[in-house]
Structure 1
C-alpha cells in the first residue's frame, strides 16, 4: 500500500494529556508511528514532542495539520508538520576554507543528507569551480563595511526567491549583522572551529595550542546577534597532545568541523532540533 511520511514537532507548557490526545488523533488518520521522542524541561515546565508517522497516501500534510487543530487550541501548541518526501532547500555560504562545504555536498550526493543546495554564496571566487561541477548557482558577493547591508539584503532576497529553508555557514568568515541574524533566527547554522564557549574569534586552534589544551573540537550552533553564542546543536572533541603543532591542530579540526556541521544540518532537516530558549532539544536517532 502506498504511504506518505510526515514529521510532527510540537511544544507547549507542560500539562496532562498531550501525548494521549495527539496520538489518538494520529491513530484516527490510519497512521503508524515510526518514531516518538519527548522531553519535559522541568525547570521551564515546557514539553517537547517529535513523532515520525506514515499514513495512507491520500492523507496530505494539510490534512494532518488540520486534524491537530483542536489540540493546538486545547494545549496552546507550537506545531509543525513536515512532509518527508519534500527535499528541503538550503543555501551554503563559504569563504576560502571549503572542506565543510565539500563534505556537505558529498553527503547530499550519497543521500545521507536529504537536501537540495539551491545556491552557494561566497565572498571569494575560490569555490566557483566546485559549484559549477555540481550544477549549483554560485554567487560571488564580496563584503566590505560599505556594502555589508546591501549584500545581506541580497541574501534575504535569495532566500525568498529560492524558497530556502536553511542557510548553512560552512566556514563563512563574515560576521552577520544583528538584523539578519534576528530575521533568520533558527534558520542559520554556523560551524565554529573550536569547542565553544572557549577560544572564540580568530585562530581558535592556535589559541588552543598556545594554552596546551588536551581536547580540541568544533561546535555547530544557530546564529544569533550574540557572536558565537547561539543555541548549540552538536559538538565533538578529539584528544590531542603536546607533540602536535598548531598546524596539526588545524588539520584535526577540519575533519571534526566537517562531521559536526553535517550532523547538525541532518538533525535540523529531519526535525530533530527544537529551540528551547537559549538551548536546544535534540532528539538524536
Structure 2
C-alpha cells in the first residue's frame, strides 16, 4: 500500500481488551498509529473508535487488509468502515432562494478549507446561477412542482449517481425530500436550519421569534432522515440576542451562525469524524490532522 493516511471508524458492544486487540492488529500489519480516539456510551454499553494510521512501508493491499480485519471484526461484532484518503469526496450543493450558505461553502472549497470536489449546484429556481458561474461550478436548474416532484427527484438522483456524488449538502434547499431519495443517500445528506424548530416553522420564523422576544439565535446541521428535521445532529451553535434586536438583525445573525455550523458539519463528514448510532451522531474532534 502506498504512503497514505487510513482512517477506521468502529462501533461495537463494549468489552474488555478492545483497544489492545485493535491496536495490536494494526501493529502486526506494519501500520504506524497516528491517533486513536475512543468513546464508551455506558448507557447503551457501546464502544466507538476512530483510529488514523500511516500506511507508509506496509506491503498489504486494500482487499487483503479488509479481509484480514474482518477476521477480527466479526467475532467482536464490529460495525466498521475504512477510508484510505486517496480520493477526494464529490459533493453536490442543493439550494433554493437563499445564497449565504452557498457562497460560504464555495469560498471555503476554493480556498482549500474543505477537502472535496464540489461537482455541481442543483437549484429548483434559476436565481443563483450567477454564483455558480462566479465559482466556475456546473449549475443545474431543475424546477419542481407538487405534480412533478417525483419526476424531478428521479432526475436529481440520476444526476448525482452519474457524477458519483458522495455527499449532498442541502444549503437551504427548501423542498422536502422523499424517503426514497433520503434512503438512497443514507447518512450522506446534510441539512441546515435555524434552531427555532419545531416552534417557528414555515415562513418568517425570525419575525415570529422577534414577536416572542427570543434571547438566543442558533442553527443546527444534521443528517437528513425521513423524520424531516429530526436526524442525527452533527453541529449546533447559538448566540445571545436582546430586546433591541429587530427581525432583520435576527435574520442576519442567524445566517452567520448557519454558515459556520454547516461548514463545520461538512468538514466533519469529509474528515471521517462521525459515527452515527441510532439517531445520535458521535463526533470525534480533529486529532492534529
Deviation at 1:9, TM superposition (A): 0.6
Partner of 2:4: 4
Separation in 2, partners of 1:253, 1:70: 49
1:215 to 2:212 alignment: no
Q: Which residue of 1 aligns with 2:151?
A: 150
Inter-partner Cα distance in structure 1 for 2:271 and 2:136 = 25
Alignment gaps of 5+ in structure 2: none
Residue in 2 that maps onto 1:139: 140
Report what 1:159 is aligned to: 160
Whole-angstrom CA distance in 2 between matches of 1:101 and 1:49? 33
Structure 1 residue aligned with 2:16: 16
Write the deviation string for residues 6-56 of structure 1: whole angstroms up to 9, x where unpaired: 111111122222221111111122222222211111222221111111111
After alignment, is 258-267 or 209-218 more displaced? Answer: 209-218
Deviates more, 1:207-216 or 1:141-150: 207-216
- Partner residue, 2:244: 243
**Secondary structure in 1 aligned to 2:214?**
coil
- Equivalence for 2:37: 37
- Rounded to whole Å, the distance in 1 between the matches of 2:52 and 2:201 is 37
Change (3 A) 1:243 1:282: same
Note the 1:104-143 alignment, pairs <5 A.
104-143=105-144
Report the more deviating stretch, 102-111 or 252-261: 102-111
- Please report the RMSD computed on the Cα atoms of aligned residues, expressed in angstroms: 1.7
Deviations 1:174-232 (A, max 9, x none): 11122222332211000012355553443332222121111110000111111211111
Q: TM-score, normalization: structure 1?
A: 0.94
Alignment of 1:198-213 (within 5 A): 198-213=199-214
**Contact 1:61 1:81 (8 Å CA) reproduced:** no
Moved over 6 A (4+): none
Q: Which residue of the partner structure matches residue 186 of structure 1?
A: 187
Contact 1:94–1:173, Cα closer than 8 Å, also in 2: yes
Shift of 1:236: 0.5
Show CA shifts across 1:46-87 (max 9, x none): 211111111116554434323312112221211111022311
- Counterpart in the other structure of 2:84: 83
Stretch moving more, 124-133 or 169-178: 124-133
Larger displacement relative to structure 2 (205-214 or 237-246) = 205-214
Shift of 1:253: 0.8
SS state of the match for residue 86, structure 1?
A: coil
In 2, the alpha carbon distance for the partners of 1:71 and 1:65 equals 10
CA apart distance, 1:99: 0.8
Unaligned runs of 5+ in 1: none
Residues 248-283 of structure 1 show CA distances to partners (whole Å, capped at 9, x for unaligned) of 000111111011000000001111111110111111
